[in-house]
Amino acid sequence: MSPPLTRDDVAKVARLARLELTDDELDSATAELTKMLAHFADIDALDLDGVEPMNNPTHLANVMRDDVEGATLDRDEVLGEAPSVEEERFRVPPIIGLDE
């Protein structure tokens, strides 16, 4: 069905998932994922043409509520659990500009 998974593929996937893997972790992840995907090839033989994908067991779609005010989380309680806060906001390290 698909070309074999390479170490580079796994490194790319890790990057997309914002995970840093050591060389050893990369090796074992490549081996494990390869083994799993081989097992999951059992569905390759199925003829699934025309089968409607099912992403949810309910028949609900676009569930809306009335546009009325309701209770919200307590701001101080929420911010009190954040790793870093400044002036009632979540504080993060610089997002852009470090590379220039």
The rounded distance, in Å, linking the Cα atoms of 23 and 8 is 11
- Does the footprint of other proteins cover residue 68 (CB under 8 A)? no
> Would you state the structure tokens that stand for residue 87, as one six-digit string?
């002036």
Encoded tokens for 48: 């699934």
In 3-state terms, what secondary structure has residue 89?
A: strand
| Minimum CB–partner distance for residue 89 and other proteins (Å) | 11
Tell whether residue 24 is a contact of other proteins (CB under 8 A).
Answer: no
Q: 10 Å Cβ neighbour count for 5?
A: 18
Q: Which residues bind other proteins (CB under 8 A)?
A: 1-2, 5, 9-10, 13-14, 16-21, 25, 29, 32-33, 35-36, 39-40, 42-43, 46, 48, 51-58, 60, 63, 65, 73-74, 77-78, 81-84, 90, 92-95, 98
